[in-house]
Amino acid sequence: MNLLKRRATVYLAASFLVLAAAVIAPGATAQGQQWQFVRADYGFRSQRTDVTQLVRTLVARGGMNGRIAVNNQTMGGDPAPGADKVLRIFARDDRNQDREFDFAEGSFVVASMFFVRDDDRDRFHGDGDHGDGDHSDADRDHDDHPALGIVRGYYGAQGRMVNVTDVLQKMVRGGSLTVPASNGAMGIDPAPGADKILIVVYEFRGREQAAAASEGHLLSIP
């Protein structure tokens, strides 16, 4: 009888461990561990778009309320219409070991899982600026429609992004922004021949959010 009880206990314990492993989200890390963000892409099989600059920006800003939504709008377009897409984030730990994290379309990334090195952050925010991009709370308070404030805007391709914050701020009409992601609208082509993306970090009704659109698509916020 005691043997049967012991076997039942072992079985229940094993079943609990299997169940716990099944419900832990893919890519979960040890408590408190952060991974250095390296690069990211989004899509299905070979139909993938490099979204490194976009995700790096969102990680550096702590996502949107701490999370990054994995969908076509946030990732700047649909590289594989009709397919179930995946965001792949390639990261590195403090022992310089690389790891891939996969997040399914429709899920969320907890931004605090990753961090951006200060030199990466500075290079992204500093190089190729098109306008100073400063937009204080005081400036937003003087807008006709202060509910929408453009915090930052970037346009370009991997490694060739420009700051278009000032351009976007001037396009806000009636408390909203509708703009095509194009060289003509941005007034510059920072990466001739490359597929570009427009990233906008904005504040709406006291909440900071982000949106993106790939070149040739319309971005509308809020």
Q: Is residue 152, in this structure, part of any structural domain at all?
A: yes
Final residue in a domain of this structure, among 121, 141, 164: 121
pLDDT in tens, 138-147: 344 444 445 7
Distance (Å, whole) CA 21 – CA 35: 21
Distance (Å, whole) CA 189 – CA 205: 32
Distance (Å, whole) CA 40 – CA 53: 8
pLDDT at 54: 81
pLDDT at 18: 32
188 and 147 belong to one structural domain: yes
95 and 144 belong to one structural domain: no
pLDDT at 22: 31
**b/e string for 89-118 if b means 16 or more Cβ within 10 A?**
bbbeeeeeeeeebebebebbbebebbbbee
Question: 135 pLDDT band (50/70/90 cuts)?
Answer: very low
Q: Could you say which DSSP state residue 1 is in?
A: -
- Could you tell me if 67 and 111 are in contact, meaning their C-beta atoms sit under 8 angstroms apart? yes
Q: How many domains does the chain have?
A: 2
Residues ≥6 apart with Cβ < 8 Å to 137: 149
pLDDT in tens, 43-61: 999 999 888 878 888 888 7
Q: In the chain, what percentage of residues exceed pLDDT 90? A: 32
pLDDT at 186: 95
Q: Is residue 17, in this structure, part of any structural domain at all?
A: no
Q: Is residue 10, in this structure, part of any structural domain at all?
A: no
Q: Is residue 144, in this structure, part of any structural domain at all?
A: yes
69 and 132 belong to one structural domain: no
Higher pLDDT, 122 or 158: 158
Q: At what angle do helices 52-60 and 118-126 cross, to 10 degrees?
A: 110
Question: 120 pLDDT band (50/70/90 cuts)?
Answer: low
Final residue in a domain of this structure, among 121, 155, 184: 121
Final residue in a domain of this structure, among 121, 156, 187: 121
End-to-end CA distance of the chain: 66
Q: Is residue 20, in this structure, part of any structural domain at all?
A: no
Q: Is residue 180, in this structure, part of any structural domain at all?
A: yes
pLDDT at 158: 66
Question: 11 pLDDT band (50/70/90 cuts)?
Answer: very low
Q: Is residue 15, in this structure, part of any structural domain at all?
A: no
117 and 143 belong to one structural domain: no
Domain that holds residue 45: 35-121
Q: Is the dihedral of CA 67, 68, 73, 79 positive or negative?
A: negative
pLDDT of 32 over the 50 cut: yes
pLDDT at 26: 39
Q: What is the mean pLDDT of residues 179-187?
A: 94
116 and 132 belong to one structural domain: no
